[in-house]
Amino acid sequence: MRLLHTMIRTGDLDRSIAFYTQVLGMSLLRRKDYPDGKFTLAFVGYDDEANHSVIELTYNWGVEHYEIGNGFGHLAIEVDDVYAACAEIRAKGGEILREAGPMNAGSTIIAFVKDPDGYPIELIGRRA
């Protein structure tokens, strides 16, 4: 068994694809419209779906906003340098929710950014 993808809903698919590809450096792996169901799916990730987990962005036609709810936590991405990643994300227009620094009660360097729909994304420094 392996984890295939995590699905999140978006109110503006093109805006979300731009964020995940241009700001976070992922690739758009595939995109397909489902006219009978009135939705579009786009898959983004750092590598192919055959061997890596990806994010499924779901756009339900005509729905521009979702409540994230209190059950969802965050997505997590490992980066080489959290401080540099935050600077790069900020320079590309991304919003930093929590600046880079040691996690609470630990030494791992983390930060949080927000995607265009408000989903929090944790950046975690690569461990040696």
69 in a structural domain: no
Give 2-22 pLDDT, tens digit per residue: 889 999 999 999 999 999 999
Give 77-102 pLDDT, tens digit per residue: 999 999 999 999 999 999 999 999 99
CATH number at residue 17: 3.10.180.10
79 in a structural domain: yes
By annotation, the residues acting in catalysis are 122
Q: Are residues 10 and 55 in the same domain?
A: yes
Domain that holds residue 10: 5-60
Give every CB contact of residue 82 below 8 A, 6+ residues apart in sequence: 100, 109, 110, 111, 123, 124, 125
Give 46-56 pLDDT, tens digit per residue: 999 999 999 99
